[in-house]
Structure formats: C-alpha cells, structure tokens
Chains A and B, each alone.
Chain A
C-alpha cells in the first residue's frame, strides 16, 4: 500500500532521513517508533507532499507520489491526526470535523455535513453539545478527539496519527488508543502511527518499525518486538538510559 524506497531528506546540515525503506501493507496498523528528531513526522509528511524528499521514491498503491496527477483526489484518500490536533481556531468544532465535507470535491449540503460531523464526534465519544464550541474552549483530550473525528470524517483509506497520546493523561491515552484501534478495525483503513508511548504501540500496532539515524533499524510484527534481540530496539522499548542509543543527541 505505502512503500518508501531509499528516501533521503536533509534540512540544512541535518540529514534527517538517510535511506528510509519501509512497507506498510493495506489494512494494517503500522507504528513507527524512534527517538525525538529521528524523522518520523518527516516521513509521514513526505507521503502527503508536505515535505519533498531530496531523493528516493514513495509509492502509494504502486503509484509514485511525486508524479503529478490529481492532488486533491490523492489527498482525499488520507486523514491525519496532528500532534497538537491542529484544529482551526476560527471555526466551531463541527466545521472543523466537516471541513472536507463543506468544500471541494467531497462537498455536501451544510445540514448533511453537520449531521456527519455530529456522528463522527459521537464516534469519538463527544456529545452534540460540543459541536458548536470553538477549539479554544476544549481540553487537550477533547481537542485530540475532535482531531481524530476530523481525520476520519471523510472515511479515508489511510490514516496517519502523529503522536496521538502525547500530553494526555494515562486514562485519556488509553481512550484514544482504543478509539484508534476500533476505528482502524471497523473502517478497514491502513494506519500509520508515530509515537513514543509504548502502551500505545502495544494497543495500536499490527507491525512496528523503529527509525534510528534516518533508517529503519528494525521492523516486524508487534508480537516479536520484545524478542527482537536488537539492542537499539530493546533500549528504546524499555526506556533505558544505557545502551547503544546516545540519550544526548
């Protein structure tokens, strides 16, 4: 479904991706782990065209993402939950959720778009009374859930989750993890999640990939993660200060 082939990206003198190779199969949930600044978010942004790789190829369903085509139709296949939710401050919650349904190729009548937004909010555990509030009036956990509702509003084939539980308390993290898992299973979507939270990894992932020094250090089913024998992965999943990964980067 999504295939990275030798993707490189450098910002100034900082080589973030140094030959990323990774495959995410259709209908599976891949979780990418790795230290801060190792290029996890950059990898996702490369798929969506928010960042242009210096070299290498990214294929979605066998099609090279760098070759023109209908960009709007391409992006309509994706939903993304951003780390800080990235809700539009100037719009009420329901218009954030229904953003894609109020304009462009997927445009629906306003009443129908609102109905879908309220249903998606219900799906992530938020009542209809939230629909007319503004993002600034919501807690961090509620904003994340609104972001999640927005990501799934147009029933995308692929959903990206960028650190979905960062900044949330453990209970809210558990709620978000369960929601992500349910949504992925029910919608049959392909999911790629970036996280540092190992409880999220175990709750969400079918497969795990560890990104280190701009390359995939280890990838495999989540069930094999603990017995990988890779010292880098072991250090990361057990959160040890001692090991091959230098804690000061």
Chain B
C-alpha cells in the first residue's frame, strides 16, 4: 500500500512540476509579447534576429523542402500505381507539402537551427553575467533579447514556410517531370487548381505558431539556464526537445482546428 502511495506521490510531483513549467512558459511568452508592443524598441536587434532566423535559415529550409517534395512524389507515384492512381501525384504532393510537411518540417528545422542557437547564446550570456550587465545598463533583457527574437520568428517563419511549400512542390515537379514522365504544364495546373486558399492559410498560420514556439522555447531555456558549460548544454538540449514536441502537438491541434470543421 505504501509503495503504491509512494509511486502515486512521485507521479503527482512530476505532474505538478510539469504544470508549473507550462505555466512559467506561458507567462514568459505573455511577457515577451507585452514587451513587443511597449517602447523602447530595439530595431537593430530585430534586424539581426530577422537575418539569423529568416535569411540564414533559407538554405536548410530550401534543401529540406526540395528533397522532401521529391521523395514524396516518388512515394505517391509508387503507392498510387498499386491502384492505377499515378495521376494524382501533383495534387497529393501539393496537399501533403502545403498542409502538413512544409510547416512541420520547416518548424522542426527552425527548432534544430534557431532554438538551439538562441538557447545557447542566451544561456552563455547568463552564465557570463552579460544578462545582469544588461540590467545594470538600464536595459531590460526581455525587451532587448527576447522580444526581438520572438517577433522575428513570428514574421520570418511563415515566410519560410511559404517558400518551403513552393520549393517542396518544385521538388515534386522536378522528379515527376524528369523521372515519371509527367507533363510540366499539366503538373503545375493540377497543383494550382487543386489547392484552396484555406490550405495556404493553414500552412502560414502553422508557420507563425511554430516560429513563436521555437523562439520562445529557446529564449526561455536560455534565461532559465543553470551554471557553467553543463548548464548551457542542458538548456540547449531541453529547448530543442521542448520546441520539437510542442511544434508537433500544436500541429495536431491546428490541423484539427482548420480541417475537422
């Protein structure tokens, strides 16, 4: 009996700790948004964040999208040929990329590339007292470090997702036209005709939400980092894990919200 009680108490403690962490992250995100709309604004920090999160993520996002689109076209062609439905490759590639794979893969790539780098940078700043130094220099760390990064992710990631969608579709197009004997013009027309505005909107909204999750988790883990190199490593690892899981969970919720109506 006491063993069961002990086990239940352990589970209860973990659940409470998890709920407390969720609460802290939500409050942290709310504070980040509140600092976005209250002056002073740090334009240079925002531009730097836009460059790092947006522009410098383009190569990895582009490569991920083009290979995924190409593989998806091959898979759908092979699978579709089992029941003589090879012709639907353009439509399914477009639907799969725009609704699902584009935003999710871009989100996960951003979590790997941006969340980790934000967490490591801010955690190192914390460990080396640079965050304390910011405060003593009358600069709020949330306003200077967190708000520009979260805002930049909110702006950039939907754009990256949109570009990723286009590049992914082009990956499918390239394989379909060059290897699977599709007509290029027909492929493009089928893709454009099949996609609906809601497909594109859902993709971009997912991008915005995933971007906010990725940047917020990086900033939160960095600001909560423990001491020393181990603290920085732990913050980086936990930020990527949390951002990836939250992106996948948010994807289910958003897909449900958009398409189960």
Contact between A88 and B133, CB atoms less than 8 A apart: yes
Contact between B136 and A103, CB atoms less than 8 A apart: no
Q: Is A4 an interface residue (CB 8 A)?
A: no
Q: Is B135 an interface residue (CB 8 A)?
A: yes
Contact between A100 and B132, CB atoms less than 8 A apart: no
* A48, B42: Cα distance in complex, Å: 23
Interface flags for A61-73 (1: CB within 8 Å of B; 0: not) read: 0000000000110
Contact between B132 and A86, CB atoms less than 8 A apart: yes
Q: Is A233 an interface residue (CB 8 A)?
A: no
Contact between A45 and B138, CB atoms less than 8 A apart: no
Interface flags for A29-50 (1: CB within 8 Å of B; 0: not) read: 0000000000000000100111
Task: Enumerate B162-204 residues with CB–CB distance to A below 8 Å.
Answer: none
Contact between B136 and A99, CB atoms less than 8 A apart: no
* A45, B125: Cα distance in complex, Å: 17
Tell me whether A86 and B138 are in contact in the complex, defined as CB-CB below 8 angstroms, given that A103-B40, A103-B42, A104-B40 are known contacts: no
Residue of A nearest to B124 (CB): A89
Contact between A100 and B128, CB atoms less than 8 A apart: no
Contact partners of B130 in chain A: CB under 8 A: 86-89
- Of B42, B124, B132, B138, the residue contacting A50 (CB under 8 A) is B132
- Of B40, B48, B125, B136, the residue contacting A80 (CB under 8 A) is B136
Interface size class of A (residues with CB under 8 A): 20 to 34
Interface flags for B13-26 (1: CB within 8 Å of A; 0: not) read: 00000000000000
* A248, B42: Cα distance in complex, Å: 47
Contact between A49 and B135, CB atoms less than 8 A apart: yes
* A84, B136: Cα distance in complex, Å: 15
Contact between B139 and A103, CB atoms less than 8 A apart: yes
Q: Is A82 an interface residue (CB 8 A)?
A: yes
Contact between B138 and A82, CB atoms less than 8 A apart: no
Contact between B135 and A50, CB atoms less than 8 A apart: yes
Contact between B138 and A104, CB atoms less than 8 A apart: yes
Contact between A75 and B132, CB atoms less than 8 A apart: no
Contact partners of B125 in chain A: CB under 8 A: 88
Contact partners of A99 in chain B: CB under 8 A: 137, 139
Contact between B135 and A82, CB atoms less than 8 A apart: no
Q: Is A94 an interface residue (CB 8 A)?
A: no
* A71, B139: Cα distance in complex, Å: 10
* A75, B137: Cα distance in complex, Å: 7
Contact partners of A90 in chain B: CB under 8 A: 48
Residue of B nearest to A162 (CB): B129
Q: Is A76 an interface residue (CB 8 A)?
A: yes
Contact between B138 and A105, CB atoms less than 8 A apart: yes
Residue of B nearest to A156 (CB): B136
Q: Is A161 an interface residue (CB 8 A)?
A: no
Contact between B133 and A86, CB atoms less than 8 A apart: yes
Contact between A50 and B136, CB atoms less than 8 A apart: yes
5 contacts between A and B (CB under 8 A): A50-B135, A88-B125, A89-B130, A100-B138, A105-B138
Q: B residues near A, CB below 8 A? A: 40, 42, 48, 124-125, 128-130, 132-139
- Other A-B pairs beyond A48-B136, A50-B132, A82-B132, 6, CB < 8 Å: A82-B129, A84-B129, A86-B133, A88-B130, A89-B130, A100-B137
The 9 nearest A-B residue pairs measured at CB: A86-B133, A86-B129, A75-B138, A72-B138, A80-B136, A82-B129, A86-B130, A100-B137, A99-B137
